[in-house]
Amino acid sequence: MTSHSLFIPVILLWTERISAPSTVFGKYFITTVPIMNYSQNAVTQYIVFSFFTHYMHVLEVIVHEKFQKPSVYISIDQPQSLTETVLLINMSLLEINVRTYRFNAAEEFSLMVYLFGEESTASFIAIPVSGWGNSYYVVTLSENPTIQLVSHDMVRIMVTFKFADDIATWSFMNVSYTTGMTMEISLDKWTTFPIQNCTHFSHSDNYDISWTGTKIMGDNSFGVVTGSCFSKTFMCEDAKVTHDQMSSDAAIGK
């Protein structure tokens, strides 16, 4: 009698965590707040940072700026928020538009940024520094667009403008930029540079030209937040919650 051996192939499976550059979870965030219009009747606004994590255990998030709390503690069922009151009447436009905020933790978390007042509101989900890139195509709406550049390290950035209207211009430091012209910007670490045409304290002069398709490249990674100066709620019929942090070219589709 012949003996036969039975061989059963065994396939070992293991899970692999795949992390794309576009993920909104990370251990280190540098962010800014949206640029928004405001009126003389609504000069108090509130910045709110909300923190979330998928970890069951309590995670400490270190706050690098001057808040009442030097850190916050979060878990999967315990998100937390920090709020800062901003009196815009006591601040220059430069002070409002170039503020940066830094947060880090030993494990991954996500961050949502809000800015709201009586006449306006805006929010976006921040992308961690690990998800930044050095090449972007930006997307904006047509009404009063804004672009904010945020740095982690020193970076030299080239902005090549694309306007929806080929005869449109945008002026900065006595230079009128048209489609195809390039602006060079050098940023120190932990800084923000705003590109905007907001009309503060007035709603009469709109700039209705989209900057979608503008190309931004740098010699180091950096973050890009785009939006519109007008984000209105409460007394206004239109609600334009228009801000977002852009994914880099390398992260598109991931």
Q: Which of 61, 132, 70 is nearest to 103 (CA)?
A: 61
pLDDT of 14: 36
Domain contains 191:
yes
pLDDT of 136: 94
Domain contains 185:
yes
Domain contains 3:
no
Write down the residue that tokens 């976006």 correspond to. Answer: 124
pLDDT of 206: 61
- Are 45 and 97 in contact by the 8 Å Cβ rule? The answer is no
Q: Which of 247, 218, 38 is nearest to 144 (CA)?
A: 38
Q: How far apart are CA 248 and CA 131, in angstroms?
A: 8
Helix (H) or strand (E) holding 185, with range, is strand 182-187
End-to-end CA, the chain:
59
DSSP state, residue 248: P
Residue 149, classified by CB atoms within 10 Å of its CB into exposed (0-12), middle (13-18) or buried (19+), is buried
Domain contains 21:
no
- Are 62 and 71 in contact by the 8 Å Cβ rule? The answer is yes
Domain count within the chain: 1
Q: How far apart are CA 145 and CA 158, in angstroms?
A: 18
Domain contains 93:
yes
What is the separation of C-alpha 155 from the centre of its chain, rounded to a whole number of angstroms?
Answer: 17
Question: Hey, what amino acid is at 247?
Answer: S
Give exposure, 159-195, as e/b (b: 16+ Cβ within 10 Å): bebebeeeebebeeeeeebebeeebebebeeebbbbb
pLDDT of 38: 60
Question: Hey, what amino acid is at 139?
Answer: V
What residues make up the domain containing 80? 26-251
pLDDT of 96: 64
- Are 115 and 31 in contact by the 8 Å Cβ rule? The answer is no
CB atoms within 10 A of CB 25: 17
Q: How far apart are CA 137 and CA 151, in angstroms?
A: 17
Domain contains 6:
no
Domain contains 132:
yes
Give exposure, 51-79, as e/b (b: 16+ Cβ within 10 Å): bbbeeeeebebebeeeeeeeebebeeeee
> What percent of the residues of the chain are helix, what percent strand, and what percent coil, each to the nearest 5?
5, 45, 50
Domain contains 8:
no
pLDDT of 68: 65
Mean pLDDT by 10 residues, the chain (254 residues): 49 39 82 71 78 86 78 88 76 68 92 78 88 91 84 96 87 90 95 77 60 94 86 47 66 56
